[in-house]
Amino acid sequence: MIKKLLIANRGEIVPRIIRTCREMGVATVAVHSEADKNAPFLDLADETVLIGPANPALSYLSMEAIIQAARQTGADAVHPGYGFLSERGAFAQAVTDAGLVWVGPPPSVLKAISSKCYTRKLAVEAGAEVTPGTLEPVTSPEEVVAFGSEHGYPLFLKLDKGGGGKGIERVSEPGQAAEVLKRAGSIGQMAFGSPDCYIETVVERPRHIEVQFLADAAGNVVCLGERECSIQRRHQKIIEEALSPVVDPADRQRLYANTAAIVKKMGYVGAGTLEGLRSQDGKYYFMEVNARLQVEHPVSEFLTGVDIVRHQLEIAVGLELPWSQSDIKTQGHAIEARIYAEDPETFYPSPGVISKVVLPQTGDNLRVDHALADGCTVPPYYDPMLAKVIAYDQDRPKAIARLIEALKAFQVEGVKTTISVNLRILEHPSFLAGEMDTSFIAEHLGLT
């Protein structure tokens, strides 16, 4: 087993990973920037290492600084958390080359799936449907126009190597094809080193449905239920739950079969998520792989009783999964609300100092993943997510009620938070009825 794990991340995910490490007897190293030198996320780590200035390019995104920290502390493995370097093939490779265990999918898989066209093609070969569009990059405006006359407008040009919503360009009519293709290509070249674009059409008012899986090196794949994450704003998820109120058992069986087929075909090893969309007429489309531990993983942990981080660590050292799919039981309902340091009316960021924080009472059915303490700083340099509150109960209405109660008890002074936005969503009749799609926030709350 791993003896000492370095966690290459910051914030709430650090104590989350440390909790499992303690249960497993694995020592931990937390790294931090200058801006985080007094941050509460460091408190539970056995060792801490300063890796650079506040600027994440020179600290949490610095491969050299992190590998140096691992050498200096004698860590034998690296967990990248989510965001930052977690899906960077070059980082996975550098960690492996340094003789350390990489807690994530193989570097070669990360490199391959950084191409969206590769992943889309592979999904189709595995028998899944992908969001309508091309499987190869388009090379000329004529191809765009030809696609448009067959499938209609608007269509979207997306970067093959893109991410973070960057370089998604709308083409509303044939006359725009040349100009938009050129613009998207130059954004791609600058931001991601590749001008390649492919075409996708719009799935109107989709629901976001994703499948959490674990895959080991022996080729075993198990799915840990789907999660519905339709409540989002500008592609930032706000509420996640499992199981989805809209996915029926036959759909689920197909989603699981597709997931296992895609994951095997990829040669994927580790924990991951396949993200997809469900259209209003009930079709499921594969969208992309999230090749990491996800923010919303606790929902699936409550639902199945599986500690995903523990199995990440076990898979990383070559252990086989102890179950097959039929051993995985999904019981009850789990739901998570993310709390952001943002103005609840404008979503304007709200960095600062938290003078006082009061957490809800946690227990078997309520979990708060956070790294907050009275007097802690919320720096302006990183993601605005402050905490996640996750509730579990025997059915959806009870789980929602439990989450509402917890959010009402959660108090933060000194910075603005989106707790009131969470409550407006959770108490909305449409949400309670399980009727939602990704336009919910704009449509029902009037927030954009």
Partner 1 sequence: MEKSVNAIMPGLCARVVVNVGDKISAGQEVAVINCMKTEISVKSEFAGTVSQVLSKEWDELQVGNPMVMLEVEE
Asked whether position 383 contacts partner 1 by CB under 8 A, the answer is yes
Asked whether position 382 contacts partner 1 by CB under 8 A, the answer is yes
- Binding positions for partner 1, 318-377, rule CB under 8 A: 341-342, 347-349, 351
Interface residue with partner 1 among 4, 24, 53, 325 (CB under 8 A) is: 53
Applying CB under 8 A, the site for partner 1 has a residue count of 16
Nearest in space to 366 (alpha carbons), one of 298, 434, 445, 315: 298
Cβ-proximal residues to 78 (8 Å cutoff; 6+ apart), any chain: 5, 6, 7, 8, 66, 67, 70, 95, 100, 101, 102, 103
Asked whether position 51 contacts partner 1 by CB under 8 A, the answer is no
Q: 3-class DSSP state for residue 288? A: strand
Asked whether position 232 contacts partner 1 by CB under 8 A, the answer is no
Q: How far is the CB of 248 from partner 1 (least distance, A)?
A: 36
Asked whether position 57 contacts partner 1 by CB under 8 A, the answer is yes
Torsion, Cα 236 107 10 194, to 10 degrees, reads -50
Rounded to an integer, what distance in angstroms lies between the CA atom of residue 346 and that of residue 70?
41
Q: How far is the CB of 378 from partner 1 (least distance, A)?
A: 8
Asked whether position 84 contacts partner 1 by CB under 8 A, the answer is no
Asked whether position 381 contacts partner 1 by CB under 8 A, the answer is yes
Q: How far is the CB of 349 from partner 1 (least distance, A)?
A: 4
The active-site residue, picked from 88, 120, 292, 402, is 292
What are the C-alpha distances in Å from 63 to residues 27, 51, 66, 339?
A: 21, 10, 5, 29
Contact (CB, 8 A) for 402 and 336: no
Shorter beta-carbon distance to partner 1: residue 284 or 382: 382
Which pair of structure tokens corresponds to residue 303?
């639902």
Q: Please say if 367 is a catalytic residue.
A: no
Rounded to an integer, what distance in angstroms lies between the CA atom of residue 120 and that of residue 133?
10
Contact (CB, 8 A) for 287 and 276: yes
Interface residue with partner 1 among 206, 298, 384, 414 (CB under 8 A) is: 384
Shorter beta-carbon distance to partner 1: residue 52 or 141: 52
Catalogue the active-site residues: 292
| List of residues contacting partner 1 (CB under 8 A) | 53-55, 57-58, 341-342, 347-349, 351, 380-384
